[in-house]
Amino acid sequence: MQSVLVVDDDPEVRAALAGALEEEGLAVRTAANGVEALRCIAVEEPAVVLLDLQMPGMDGAALLDTLRTARLTTPVVLMSADTRCAAVVGRADAYLAKPFELNQLYDTVAQFTQQEA
Amino acid sequence: MTSLAPNDEAEELLRPSADLLYRVIEYNAAGMHIFDRDGRFVLSNAAVEQMYGVPRSAFTGLRYDDPRFVRFTLSGEPLAAVDHPFSQVQRSGRPVYDVQYVVTPPQGARRVISVNAAPLFDDVGEFSGAVASITDITRYIEHQSHLQTLAVENARLYEETVAALRQRDALMHSITHDLKNPLLSILAHAQLLERRLARGGPCEPGQLSEGLAAIEQAARRLQGMVTELLDVARLEAGQPLELQRAPMDLVALVQGCIAELATAGGRHRFVVEAPLPGLVGVWDAARLERVLSNLLSNAVRYSPAGGEIAVQLEQQQQGSAAWAVVRVKDHGMGIPAAELPRIAERFYRASNVSTSIPGTGLGLASARLLVEAHGGTLTIASTEGEGTTVTVRLPLDPPPSGGS
């Protein structure tokens, strides 16, 4: 089954998004920071990564750069409440501005999970 | 002879009267010197004595460039002999006006002066000396430099204001960011429940109550953030908080806060050192919970490499007053020494904090204000690169005045 990796330092956000995605029959993994996320991406090869921009330690931008430097093409959907981060957003595959609607979440994730299904 | 008087009548008046000339010089409000052709002081008036606080005989016979005179320009460099009014007048044969400098005559007081000087000529038109009139502008210059200090101070205040506004912008930005997470959680859970209901499929009571509980939890978090903002705004405006005081155990509160942080997952180890089974005082439990959870989450946040976070609780007796003392100690990035005094200001975040560490700069300020509202103190000791210790002291009993 295709899996989605949710990376956010906020446990409530992780739980909410995981619940919503599982409802649609997706397998969900979660990570609380960039380092955990890297490990998970390497092992699980998720179909898409939902990535929060602002996190302690390795933040979303740093993780995105690490992935791309390592030539990992896993699609990344950036999530942020910050509207001033256009430069990073340009390097991601899609962007969700917090708070977003579930429909937006499903539509965005579907772009990266359905073609292989 | 160069005529001193503008018309015949005045000349008539002056000629027989060396005495009149003497009086004009002697009683002039300005200090006056007369120099001979070599630049020696031959006559000084009463105002000179007044100005420098020395008898005029201190000048008589000295040359204008005598090394016992200390003279500086207003910009603080030694006044060159050629720039002295006598020297200028001697060279040019013309008067000079408003030559300003600082002078300390031998044994005299230091004065800032403005000098007008004019050459004197003998009967055959040869240079025979100079007359100088001196105005003491010490006060005026001091006033000007005071104004200058004020201008500098104004510029500093302006810069501080701009910096404060920038901090506030950053805070607004950060707060919106923080508010959006619980908002997202509420939206997601609510819409998920709606979808389930709309599908008409089975919605188990467990799922329903789970979703509702998550919504409530996120809403409480929002509420907490908003209350904290309001509290801080109120305290900073000098309005008292109405504390909801009741007997409560600080040790239990600390353990509760730690349990909550621990569920968030992380690489930090919490060590609680409490020599007592409990530490009970009469405090506002909700507000102290916010203090401790701010301090603990700061300790976690600002030691991103993980490590031990120690919380030490003890009771101290000081005279007749009993205090509860809580220390939260991390081994994180610490705070640069120069910024320690500002760190508990609202919105202030240390310069060694990477922008990727979320935070509003409100937590510590809010903690300090809430502790102070309880009649306590919050102090911070920190070494950059080694860690930070925040010490909270709270009086065990409420103030007898029955106030907040």
Tokens of B233: 């705004």
Q: In whole numbers, what is the pLDDT of chain B averaged over residues? A: 85
Domain that holds residue A16: 3-113
B116-142: per-residue pLDDT in tens? 999 999 889 999 999 999 999 999 988
| Interface probe with B: pick from A98, A100, A103, A105, most Cβ of B within 10 Å | A98
B77 DSSP assignment? S
Q: List the B307-318 sheet strands across, edge first.
A: B268-273, B307-318, B321-329, B387-395, B377-383
- Range name among B8-12, B44-48, B109-113, B388-392 with the lowest pLDDT average: B8-12
Q: Reply yes or no on whether the pLDDT at B252 is more than 50.
A: yes
| Interface probe with B: pick from A6, A24, A54, most Cβ of B within 10 Å | A54
Tokens of A49: 């990564």
pLDDT at B117: 97
Q: Decide if B188 and A81 are in contact by the 8 Å CB cutoff.
A: no
pLDDT at B1: 45
Angstrom distance (rounded) from CA B18 to CA B34:
15
- Range name among A17-21, B85-89, B233-237 with the lowest pLDDT average: B233-237
Contact present, B236 and B398 (Cβ < 8 Å): no
Could you tell me which chain A residue has the CA closest to the CA of B353? A56
What's the domain count of chain A?
1
User: Region A43-72: what's the mean pLDDT?
Assistant: 87
Long-range pairs for B219-228: beta carbons < 8 A, 24 or more residues apart: B219/B182, B219/B186, B221/A12, B221/B182, B222/B179, B222/B182, B222/B183, B222/B186, B224/B290, B225/B175, B225/B178, B225/B179, B225/B182, B228/B290, B228/B362, B228/B366
CB atoms within 10 A of CB A89: 17
CATH number at residue A97: 3.40.50.2300
pLDDT at B402: 47
Contact present, A2 and A27 (Cβ < 8 Å): yes
Identify the residue with better confidence: A81 or B328: B328
Q: Decide if B185 and A12 are in contact by the 8 Å CB cutoff.
A: yes
- Residue A73, min C-alpha distance to chain B (Å): 24
pLDDT at B404: 44
**Cβ–Cβ contact B182 with A under 8 A:** yes
Q: In whole numbers, what is the pLDDT of chain A averaged over residues? A: 87
Could you tell me which chain A residue has the CA closest to the CA of B181? A13
- Residue A57, min C-alpha distance to chain B (Å): 6
Q: Decide if A56 and B173 are in contact by the 8 Å CB cutoff.
A: no
Q: Reply yes or no on whether the pLDDT at B25 is more than 80.
A: yes
Chain A contact set for B191 (CB, 8 A)? 20, 101-102
Identify the residue with better confidence: B110 or B363: B110
B346 DSSP assignment? T
Pairs of CB atoms within 8 A across A/B = 79
Q: Decide if B358 and A54 are in contact by the 8 Å CB cutoff.
A: yes
B102-121: per-residue pLDDT in tens? 999 999 999 999 999 999 99
pLDDT at B403: 45
Q: Which of residues 28-87 of A touch B (CB under 8 A)?
A: 32, 54-57, 59, 61-62, 81-82, 84
Chain A contact set for B356 (CB, 8 A)? 54-57, 59, 61-62
Residue B60 parent element (H or E): none
Q: Give the pairing of strands B127-136 and B111-121.
A: antiparallel
CB atoms within 10 A of CB B295: 28
pLDDT at B387: 86
**Cβ–Cβ contact B28 with A under 8 A:** no
Q: Decide if B177 and A81 are in contact by the 8 Å CB cutoff.
A: yes
Q: Decide if B181 and A100 are in contact by the 8 Å CB cutoff.
A: no
Could you tell me which chain B residue has the CA closest to the CA of A21? B192
Q: Decide if A57 and B356 are in contact by the 8 Å CB cutoff.
A: yes
Q: Decide if A56 and B264 are in contact by the 8 Å CB cutoff.
A: no
Q: Reply yes or no on whether the pLDDT at B265 is more than 60.
A: no
Q: Reply yes or no on whether the pLDDT at A99 is more than 50.
A: yes
- Residue A72, min C-alpha distance to chain B (Å): 23
- Range name among A6-20, B319-333, B346-360 with the lowest pLDDT average: B346-360
Could you tell me which chain A residue has the CA closest to the CA of B302? A56
- Residue B157, min C-alpha distance to chain A (Å): 29
Q: Decide if B177 and A82 are in contact by the 8 Å CB cutoff.
A: yes
**Cβ–Cβ contact A16 with B under 8 A:** yes
**Cβ–Cβ contact B342 with A under 8 A:** no
C-alpha separations of B175 from B167, B171, B243 in Å: 12, 6, 25
Considering only the beta carbons, identify the residue of B189, B195, B356 that sits closest to A59.
B356
**Cβ–Cβ contact A17 with B under 8 A:** yes
pLDDT at B127: 94
B37 DSSP assignment? T
Chain A contact set for B187 (CB, 8 A)? 99-102
Instruction: Write down all domains in chain B, each with its CATH number in brackets.
Output: 8-136 (3.30.450.20), 153-236 (1.10.287.130), 245-395 (3.30.565.10)
